[in-house]
Structures are given as structure tokens and as C-alpha cells.
Amino acid sequence: MNPYYFASIALILIGLYAILAKRSVLKMLVGLSIMETGVNLLLISVGYVSGRSAPILSEGITPDRAVDPIPQALVLTAIVIGVATTAMALSVVINLYDRYKTLNVEEIRRLRG
Amino acid sequence: MVGEVVKRVLAIVFILIIGFWMAKALDQVPFGQDRMLVGKYYLEHVEEETGAVNAVTAVVVNYRGFDTLGEVTVLFITSTGVAALLWRKKRKRTAKTEGSVVLTTGARLLLPFIMLFGAYIFIHGHLTPGGGFPGGATIATAFLFLYLAFTVYEIDHKILEPLEGLTGVGYVIVGLTGLAIGGYFLFDWIWQTWGIGKENIGRLLSAGFIPIIYTLIGIKVGTELTGIVDNMIKEPEEGGQ
């Protein structure tokens, strides 16, 4: 199996494990970010074409010597949206801590009754 | 404790199943093969249609400019949402100690260079890797630096919020000008109608409205991320919920 595919699947699974098994909300968010990185790496490596260069048509790079620009544009968008969701989630976490004085999801569930 | 172990084992089994099916699916996608369809069109026509040499930037700002406007809107909603979620009556900086000498001196020294580098990234978005989003993030790190180094530092909100709004409006105005001149929203009138910079493709003054829009996006992203940092770093005063 290709190392890039392997790495991206591994990153996605590590992130998923953190979301499933960790009890701290903050660690779940870290897992979410790791998953995001994995998805981005997967998209980029699907768009890669062997032996070609970045899609910037400078000297010596003709259109048939550049990789697919579309996955890269897609990942650019995905990174920005990832930052946005992370920021929103972090502020929800700050509110959670203010109210319950803990970040442990099981304790929060118990405190809510 | 038993419940904890069971939970972990279940999680591992679950991710192994998902990982197996992902690996099986990706087995059908050979690595490094040329399977471009639309991408080929973009690569072949990017120089004559947009004037940019960086095809990714051309796709993001020119071909799919409307989506990027939506993306900027998402960022704007995030910065508003963070402000709304963290809203309290009285909030201020509560850090008790200044940053170390290294941090404060470094922040003072590096601030102009970080901002210069951020501006370089977004102004050259059509030529080099990068563009408005990473450039804006770089500028926001300069302000994050200041927040970390000095306990009393707070950005001037009289400048920050209007600048954020104005750059967003600026993007829409650029799009509407295209609508007025060329007949559709975000038409690149500078390149298509006026033909400015046709002879210096690959230099700074080319690519129509891409540098303009990316400068606007860069400033907007910079101010928005700075606003998010500002909102997160301030805490409510004692008893001032």
C-alpha cells in the first residue's frame, strides 16, 4: 500500500480513536483536528501525479508537467473551514468549563442529571 | 474500570473495521496516475483566461470566486459566533505576569517582519504558493505574539471591526463591479475587459483582480483571526458574569 494513503488513513483512525475513547472534550477536539489533517493529506495525495510539479506554471512547468490543481484548491477551503469549526468548538468548550468546572464528558453528563 | 476497558476495545475494533474498508476502497485508486478532467482545462487555460500562473489561486479566486466569498462569509460567521458565545458584560486581560525578556524583545523585533511576510504572501498569491488565507493567518500570529508577550496589550477595536467589515464589503463591491461591466458577478473586468498586465504574466502586476481580492481576503482573515484570539484570551472579571 502506498505510504501516503497509509499515513492519511492512519491519521484519520488516530483522530477517530481520540474522539471515541478520550473523555476530555479538549482531547476530542485535538482528535478532530488530526482527522482533518488526515482527510486533507488523502485529498492531496489522490490528486498527485507521479513525477510532476506543483501547479504553478513558472519556468519549465508546462500544463502537462503539473499536478491536478483542484484537490489543492479544495484542501485550501477545507483548512479554512477547519480553522473556523475549531474556533467555534473551542469557544463552546470555554463555556462548558465556565459552567461545569470540568472538561470530562462523563462528569458533565452526570452533573446535568 | 471494566467499562473503560470495554469502551477502548470497542473503539479499537470499530476503527479497525473502518480502516480496513478505507484501505480496501483506496486500493482501487492507483497512486500518482493522471486522472485529471476539469483540472486539465484549468491548467491549459489558466494563463490566457485569468493571467495567473498559480493554477490553485486561479481556481480559488477567479473560477470559483463565488465559493470563496462563501468561505469568507463562513469565517465572518465564526468570528461573530465566537464573540457571541464568549460574550460577558465585563471582560479583560487577566494574565498576571509579563512574558519573559526573550518573548517581549522578540515580539517587538519580529512584529514588522511577520506583518511584512504576511503581506508578501497575500500580495503574491497569484505567483507563489500561499494567498490571502495563509497570509492573513501569518498577520494574525503577529498580534497573537503581542497578546502573549504583554499583559496589558489589547488591539484597537475602533480599527479592527470596521476594517473587517470594510474588506468584506470591498470583496462584494469588486464582484458587483464585474456584474456591471461584464454581466455576471465576480467577472474579472481588469483582465478580460481592460486587459491590464497582458504582457507581464508571471510578474506582480498581472492576473486581473486576483491580487486585489487576495489583499482584501488577507486583511479580512488577519483581522478575523485576531478578533478570535482577542475574544478567547480575555476572561470575565471576578463576579462580573
Looking at residue A50, its pLDDT comes to: 83
Q: Which domain holds residue B177?
A: 97-236
Q: Write b or e for each residue in B179-190: b if 16 or more Cβ atoms lie within 10 A of its Cβ, otherwise e.
A: eeeeeeebbbbb
Quick check: is B62 in a domain?
no
The closest CB to that of B74, out of A57, A81, A95, belongs to A81
Is A107 near chain B, with CB under 8 Å?
A: no
Q: How far is CA B161 from the centre of its chain?
A: 17
Contact B133 A48 (CB under 8 A): no
Q: How many CA atoms lie within 13 A of B218 on its CB side?
A: 24
Cell 486587459, residue located: B195
Quick check: is B153 in a domain?
yes
Q: How many CB atoms lie within 10 A of CB B193?
A: 13
Write out pLDDT tens, residues B134-174: 899 999 998 888 888 887 777 777 888 888 888 888 888 88
Positions of E strands within chain B: 91-92, 235-236
Looking at residue A113, its pLDDT comes to: 56
Q: How many CB atoms lie within 10 A of CB A93?
A: 17
Quick check: is B214 in a domain?
yes
Among the listed residues B110, B82, B113, B122, the one whose alpha carbon sits nearest the alpha carbon of residue B224: B82
Ranges A81-90, B127-136, B159-168, B229-238, most confident: A81-90
Quick check: is B106 in a domain?
yes
- The shortest C-alpha distance from B25 to chain A (Å) reads 11
Report whether B197 contacts B208 (CB < 8 A).
Answer: yes
Ranges A27-41, B20-34, B44-58, B203-217, most confident: A27-41
User: What percentage of chain B has pLDDT greater than the value 70?
Assistant: 97
* Alpha-carbon separation of residue B86 from A93, A96, B59, B154 (angstroms): 10, 11, 36, 17
The closest CB to that of B81, out of A72, A80, A88, belongs to A88
Contact B86 A73 (CB under 8 A): no
C-alpha grid cell, residue A107: 462528569
Contact B42 A69 (CB under 8 A): yes
Q: How far apart are CA A50 and CA A52, in angstroms?
A: 6
Q: Which residues pair with B235 in a beta bridge?
A: B92
Q: Which residues pair with B236 in a beta bridge?
A: B91
The closest CB to that of B19, out of A9, A66, A79, belongs to A9
Contact A56 B55 (CB under 8 A): yes
Contact A57 B43 (CB under 8 A): yes
Domain count, chain B: 1
Quick check: is B186 in a domain?
yes
Split at pLDDT 50, 70, 90, the class of B58 is confident
Q: Whole-prediction pTM value?
A: 0.84
Report whether A67 contacts B33 (CB < 8 A).
Answer: no
Q: Taking all residues of chain B, what is their mean pLDDT, rounded to a whole number?
A: 84
Q: Is the pLDDT of residue B238 over 70?
A: no
Split at pLDDT 50, 70, 90, the class of B196 is confident
In order of start, what are the domains of chain A with their CATH numbers? 3-49+61-100 (1.10.287.3510)
The closest CB to that of B7, out of A21, A66, A87, belongs to A21
For chains A and B, CB pairs below 8 A equal 142
Q: Is the pLDDT of residue B203 over 80?
A: no
Quick check: is B166 in a domain?
yes
Report whether B32 contacts A52 (CB < 8 A).
Answer: no
Q: What are phi and psi of B128, to 5 degrees?
A: -120, 165
Among the listed residues A39, A33, A50, A44, the one whose alpha carbon sits nearest the alpha carbon of residue A8: A39
A70 vs B contacts (CB less than 8 Å) = 36, 38-39, 42, 59
Quick check: is B43 in a domain?
no
Quick check: is B151 in a domain?
yes
